[in-house]
């Protein structure tokens, strides 16, 4: 994007409960955080006036161990902000349950290809002035109960808005809410406007002024995935005045604070994260104009070194302008095969080093790594072990690499990890299955780039987008996936990969999906991989050219600029004269 296009843009403050910047900064748990990090990296590359806001989480999400029985064990995942971030001077104050809580911030800089800097502010309440409990509010990502969560969301929303004001960054600015967790920022803006005008009750114009400054991205296609807080808790944490303000502005559902609803209510632009997710969200929230901007991944971050070298040689413009990945159609097949063989070697070396398990470089390697939670069905591949063994025996050998953390309170997710371990045992001697502990961004990069086939088996329509398959595509790794989320758009059968279940409109049918999964492996993918390697390389190349060139955050953020940020009416500071 050209400087002229971006110069007149308002600043964008991008608020997210989690942001994944590097594997050393433990402030993310999964796709939402990684997307936030990729968005800010793309903003730095494009020279956009953007900044990120999140919480510091000194103890991270958690460090995963899995015992011999396949049971997940959670340990604190401390890191040292002092080594990686710069503390800032201004302190701000928020009111929680009627008492003042001091908040400070740490700064991290994301630097783009031309040196443009996008700052990220990490809010921190671990200060001696605060009560021992308030000090813990920025310790754990997704830890604690509903009360802890609501207090954290107050720190993010109210603390974030106050910090930007203290830094003098609150002029000509958009507030972009990445999912509902940060939606209390809208109430902070409304409160500030009322304080400045000296008015008690908000007018329609006040609400509209806040709306004009806010953009909301929803990521969750299931109602249960949206944060909700009961009236008593809301009144206890936010206080009478804010609770009344919410009721006056109609932003509660049955007197409950629903963070998604709050975001929708106060956003001038709303989007879901794929075409399919847009359809689902529009059905879930009738009356709100929801648009689609499909997610992406930051191409230079998720491209493995052998493919970086290949692209640098063949399409040197690719970093500057990811659309050039389309020109991968001109890269000879054998060069793609070589780069892939090298990426696979790097993965298998790391697997051997950390687990002691040696996998074979010639065997078709299936990868599956992501948050372990029910709807992702991480064990679907193991639904019929006899059939899987039979396929490997008669058509060609298979090996599998797994990774993924279950939320500490998600017993269903933990059971799934255990069932992967049970399958590993049952398949021993037939199909090697490796589970790598503590799946993180570093493993994410290795696994998505080093396997031969990326497997994705969510329950439709619960995968809003999914981004791991996009990382795989950038590295010439095709997907075998349920037609949900981004794959509805990215799938071209036998060209970019394969669908599990061919009819994306049909009612989800697990037995049919399992049969389709095995059929595709047995009749299409394994015969091609072992019998027609040139055809397989053609699929690898098309995955890069068709999907790598589109499903990246450079294209995604350009769409945010065009649709959400750029054609906005001129923004005045939310200041009214008394």
Ligand X SMILES: *Cc1c(COP(=O)(O)O)cnc(C)c1O
Closest residue by beta carbon to ligand X = 444
Nearer to ligand X, 151 or 464 (CB): 464
Q: Are 186 and 262 in contact (CB under 8 A)?
A: yes
**Which residues on adjacent β-strands are paired with residue 13?**
51, 175
Return the SS3 of 217.
Answer: strand
Nearer to ligand X, 153 or 440 (CB): 440
- Binding ligand X (rule: CB under 6 A), the pick from 467, 549, 554, 558 is 467
Query: Kindly report the CA angle at 501 between 531 and 507, in degrees rounded to 5?
Result: 175
Q: How far apart, in whole angstroms, are the C-alpha atoms of residue 221 and residue 485? A: 10
**Minimum distance of ligand X from residue 268's CB (angstroms):** 27
Nearer to ligand X, 212 or 553 (CB): 553
| Binding of residue 439 to ligand X (CB under 6 A) | yes
Nearest CA to 479 among 397, 544, 435?
A: 544
Nearer to ligand X, 105 or 378 (CB): 378
Q: Which stretch binds ligand X (CB under 6 A): 26-34, 98-106, 115-123, 517-525?
A: 26-34
Show the tokens assigned to 50: 């953007």
**Which residues on adjacent β-strands are paired with residue 52?**
14, 120
Where does 30-98 show beta strands of DSSP type E?
50-55, 63-66, 72-75, 86-87, 92-96
Q: Which stretch binds ligand X (CB under 6 A): 28-36, 44-52, 93-101, 164-172?
A: 28-36
Residue in the block written with tokens 């902070």: 188
Nearer to ligand X, 378 or 546 (CB): 378
| Binding of residue 490 to ligand X (CB under 6 A) | no
Q: Are 158 and 241 in contact (CB under 8 A)?
A: no
Q: What share of the chain is helix, strand, coil (3-state, %, to 5)?
A: 45, 20, 35
Element holding 365 (H helix, E strand): strand 364-369
Nearest CA to 45 among 109, 111, 121?
A: 111
Q: How far apart, in whole angstroms, are the C-alpha atoms of residue 6 and residue 26? A: 31
Q: Are 299 and 307 in contact (CB under 8 A)?
A: no
**Minimum distance of ligand X from residue 439's CB (angstroms):** 6
Where does 287-349 show beta strands of DSSP type E?
290-292
- Binding ligand X (rule: CB under 6 A), the pick from 16, 18, 21, 30 is 30
| Binding of residue 367 to ligand X (CB under 6 A) | no
DSSP conformation class of 330: G
Show the tokens assigned to 490: 């990215």
- Binding ligand X (rule: CB under 6 A), the pick from 119, 160, 221, 444 is 444
**Minimum distance of ligand X from residue 406's CB (angstroms):** 13
- Binding ligand X (rule: CB under 6 A), the pick from 367, 450, 466, 490 is 466
Q: How far apart, in whole angstroms, are the C-alpha atoms of residue 85 and residue 389? A: 50
**Minimum distance of ligand X from residue 433's CB (angstroms):** 19
Peptide bond into 383 cis (omega under 30): no
| Binding of residue 418 to ligand X (CB under 6 A) | no
**Minimum distance of ligand X from residue 559's CB (angstroms):** 19
- Binding ligand X (rule: CB under 6 A), the pick from 179, 440, 452, 522 is 440
**Minimum distance of ligand X from residue 44's CB (angstroms):** 19
Show the tokens assigned to 493: 């059968």
**Minimum distance of ligand X from residue 414's CB (angstroms):** 17
| Binding of residue 497 to ligand X (CB under 6 A) | no
Nearer to ligand X, 213 or 467 (CB): 467
Count of residues that bind ligand X according to CB under 6 A: 12
| Binding of residue 41 to ligand X (CB under 6 A) | no
| Binding of residue 157 to ligand X (CB under 6 A) | no
Q: Are 274 and 295 in contact (CB under 8 A)?
A: yes
Q: Which stretch binds ligand X (CB under 6 A): 27-35, 67-75, 132-140, 243-251?
A: 27-35
Nearer to ligand X, 222 or 329 (CB): 222
Distance from CA of residue 138 to its chain's centroid?
20
**Residue 355 exposed, middle or buried by CB count within 10 Å (0-12, 13-18, 19+):** middle
- The secondary structure of 99-148, three-state, reads EEEEEEEEEEEEECCCCCEEEEEEEECCCCCCCHHHHHHHCCCCCCCHHH
**Minimum distance of ligand X from residue 431's CB (angstroms):** 23
Nearer to ligand X, 135 or 471 (CB): 471
- Binding ligand X (rule: CB under 6 A), the pick from 220, 260, 399, 468 is 468
| Binding of residue 377 to ligand X (CB under 6 A) | no
- Binding ligand X (rule: CB under 6 A), the pick from 12, 13, 21, 34 is 34
| Binding of residue 31 to ligand X (CB under 6 A) | yes
Q: Which stretch binds ligand X (CB under 6 A): 166-174, 271-279, 387-395, 463-471?
A: 463-471
| Binding of residue 441 to ligand X (CB under 6 A) | yes
**Minimum distance of ligand X from residue 302's CB (angstroms):** 8
- Binding ligand X (rule: CB under 6 A), the pick from 58, 104, 370, 414 is 370
Nearer to ligand X, 405 or 520 (CB): 405
| Binding of residue 343 to ligand X (CB under 6 A) | no
Nearest CA to 413 among 29, 22, 28, 78?
A: 29
Q: Are 233 and 149 in contact (CB under 8 A)?
A: no
Binding residues for ligand X, rule: CB under 6 A, are 30-31, 34, 370, 439-441, 444, 466-468, 471
């Amino acid at each position: 994007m050209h400087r002229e296009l971006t110069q007149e843009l308002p600043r964008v403050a991008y608020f997210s409960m989690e942001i994944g910047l590097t594997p050393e900064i433990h402030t993310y748990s999964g796709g939402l955080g990684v997307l936030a990090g990729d968005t800010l990296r793309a903003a730095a590359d494009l020279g956009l006036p953007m900044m990120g806001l999140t919480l510091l989480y000194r103890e991270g999400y958690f460090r995963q161990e899995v015992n011999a029985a396949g049971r997940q064990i959670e340990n604190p995942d401390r890191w040292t902000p002092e080594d990686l971030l710069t503390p800032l001077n201004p302190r701000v104050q928020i009111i929680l349950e009627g008492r003042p809580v001091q908040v400070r911030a740490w700064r991290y800089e994301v630097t783009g290809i031309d040196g443009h800097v996008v700052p990220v502010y990490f809010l921190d309440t671990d200060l001696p002035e605060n009560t021992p409990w308030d000090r813990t509010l920025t310790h754990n990502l997704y830890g604690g109960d509903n009360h802890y969560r609501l207090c954290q969301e107050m720190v993010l929303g109210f603390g974030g808005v106050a910090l930007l004001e203290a830094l003098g960054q609150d002029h000509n600015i958009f507030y972009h809410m990445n999912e509902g967790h940060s939606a209390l920022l809208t109430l902070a803006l409304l409160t500030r406007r009322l304080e400045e005008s000296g008015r008690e009750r908000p007018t329609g114009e006040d609400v509209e002024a806040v709306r004009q400054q806010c953009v909301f991205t929803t990521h969750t296609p299931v109602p249960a995935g949206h944060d909700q807080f009961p009236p008593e808790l809301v009144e206890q944490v936010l206080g009478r005045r804010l609770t009344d303000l919410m009721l006056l502005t109609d932003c509660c559902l049955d007197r409950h604070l629903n963070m998604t609803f709050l975001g929708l209510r106060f956003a001038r632009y709303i989007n879901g994260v794929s075409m399919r997710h847009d359809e689902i969200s529009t059905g879930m929230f009738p009356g709100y104009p929801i648009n689609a901007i499909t997610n992406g991944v930051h191409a230079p971050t998720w491209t493995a070194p052998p493919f970086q070298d290949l692209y640098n040689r063949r399409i040197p413009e690719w970093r500057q302008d990811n659309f050039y990945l389309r020109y991968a159609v001109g890269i000879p097949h054998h060069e793609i095969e070589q780069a892939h063989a090298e990426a696979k070697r790097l993965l298998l070396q790391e697997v051997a080093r950390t687990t002691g398990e040696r996998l074979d470089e010639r065997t078709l390697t299936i990868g599956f790594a992501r948050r372990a939670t029910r709807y992702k069905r991480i064990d679907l591949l193991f639904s019929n072990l006899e059939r899987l063994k039979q396929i490997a025996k008669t058509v060609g050998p298979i090996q599998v690499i797994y990774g993924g953390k279950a939320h500490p309170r998600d017993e269903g997710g933990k059971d799934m990890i255990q069932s992967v371990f049970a399958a590993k045992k049952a398949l021993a001697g037939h199909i090697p299955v490796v589970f790598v502990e503590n799946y993180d961004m570093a493993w994410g990069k290795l696994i998505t780039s080093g396997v031969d086939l990326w497997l994705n088996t969510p329950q439709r329509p619960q995968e809003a987008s999914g981004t791991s398959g996009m990382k795989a595509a950038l590295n010439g790794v095709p997907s075998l996936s349920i037609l949900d989320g981004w794959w509805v758009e990215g799938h071209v059968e036998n060209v970019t990969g394969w669908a599990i279940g061919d009819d994306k409109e049909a009612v989800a049918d697990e037995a049919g999906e399992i049969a389709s999964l095995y059929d595709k492996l047995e009749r299409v993918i394994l015969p091609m991989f072992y019998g027609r390697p040139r055809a397989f390389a053609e699929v690898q190349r098309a995955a890069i050219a068709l999907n790598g060139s589109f499903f990246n955050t450079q294209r995604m953020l350009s769409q945010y600029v065009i649709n959400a940020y750029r054609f906005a009416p001129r923004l005045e500071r939310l200041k009214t004269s008394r």
